[in-house]
Amino acid sequence: MPSGIIIKGIGGFYYVRKDDEIYECKARGIFRKDEITPLPGDMVSFTIIDEDDKKGTIDKIHERQSQLIRPAVANVNQVIVVISIKSPAPDLLLLDKLLVMAEHQNIDAIVCINKIDLASDKEYSEIFEAYSKAGYKVILSSTKTGEGLDQLKESLNKRISVLAGQSGVGKSTILNKIINSQVMKTGNISDKIERGKHTTRHAELVRVETDGYLVDTPGFSSLGIVNITYDKLALYYRDFDNYTDKCRFTHCSHINEPQCGVKEAVNEGLIDKGRYMRYISLYSTLKQQKQY
């Protein structure tokens, strides 16, 4: 039985890529019975009903490694969080929330600082250093000058990636720049799933030359902080990991306790103070939510 990856689903049809061919498939009724909805990114086994017209039926959905709610995509294994240095000003709290959710779902994350053509080196170097110090790959980019775009393309290699970030930071422009230069053109793709054909946009995986997929989706700006309690929040700050063993208390919140390794690291400049203060803010928000 052949296998492939769902690159798009619309109107009860799922478009499955096997090598360089796209098959239009229906899902077997057993999935509805089990309340399972096939998603873009799902690896599936399917039966070919008509090879000439590329029709098939999905028989099995393989185990998912991850699942996002917005957009509804399976097996994303990399989030590229985009912020702009200006227009709009960087929302670092949203950036930290997105990184927390990526860590929570075991999805690799890259920080992309966009629109650097609008600022001086000094204006974005602090953010670059803070997140590099936290252990993240940070890419500086400008869609106007083209800086960083090759590095972004390389980062897509053998990955299913999604761009995330606040509105106006340039996600769509970055996506279009990469898609326009990197899409692997296959003769029958445009016939089956023409981009822009439907007025309602759905998440779609676009294959790029680096043998990866980029999620083309409308309006993805937040993963949302879900299924994380305030007392577990610190687990998803990778920059804390090297210092928690120096905490006096096993379940240290890294806020009010004495002899805290994380606070000492902040004081010594080993952890960025701004990111630590946003951790306290997010911790307080999650703790208040639990009280209601």
Cis status of the peptide bond prior to 258, with omega within 30 of 0 = no
Which pLDDT tens digit goes with each residue over 155-192?
Answer: 999 999 999 988 899 998 998 888 876 555 433 344 44
CATH code given to domain 68-216: 3.40.50.300
Task: Report the 10 Å Cβ neighbour count for 222.
Answer: 14
Q: Tens of pLDDT along the chain (292 residues)? A: 999 999 999 989 999 999 989 999 999 988 888 889 999 999 999 999 999 999 999 999 999 999 887 778 999 999 999 999 999 999 999 999 999 999 998 999 999 999 999 999 998 999 999 999 999 999 999 999 999 999 999 999 999 999 998 889 999 899 888 887 655 543 334 444 444 343 345 789 999 887 899 998 754 555 556 789 999 999 999 999 999 999 999 999 999 999 999 999 999 999 999 999 999 999 999 999 876 5
What CA–CA distance (Å, rounded) separates 8 from 24? 10
Please give the CATH topology (third level) of the domain spanning 230-290: Ribonucleotide Reductase Protein R1; domain 1 (1.10.40)
Which pLDDT tens digit goes with each residue over 73-117?
Answer: 999 999 999 999 999 999 999 999 999 999 998 999 999 999 999
Write down the pLDDT at residue 157. Answer: 93
Write down the pLDDT at residue 223. Answer: 53
Which conformational region is residue 115 in: left (phi greater than 0), alpha (psi within -120 to 50 degrees), or beta? left
Residue 3's H or E segment, with its range, is strand 3-10
3-class DSSP assignment, residue 215: strand
Helix residue ranges per DSSP H, 227-272: 261-267
**Residue extents of the structural domains in the chain:** 3-63, 68-216, 230-290
Strand pairing partners for 109? Answer: 79
User: Per residue, what are the HEC states of 109-162?
Assistant: EEEEEECHHHCCHHHHHHHHHHHHHCCCEEEECCCCCCCCHHHHHHHCCCCEEE
CATH code given to domain 3-63: 2.40.50.140
Q: For the chain, percent helix, then strand, then coil, each to nearest 5?
A: 35, 25, 40
Distances (CA, A) of 259 to 66, 248, 273: 37, 5, 17
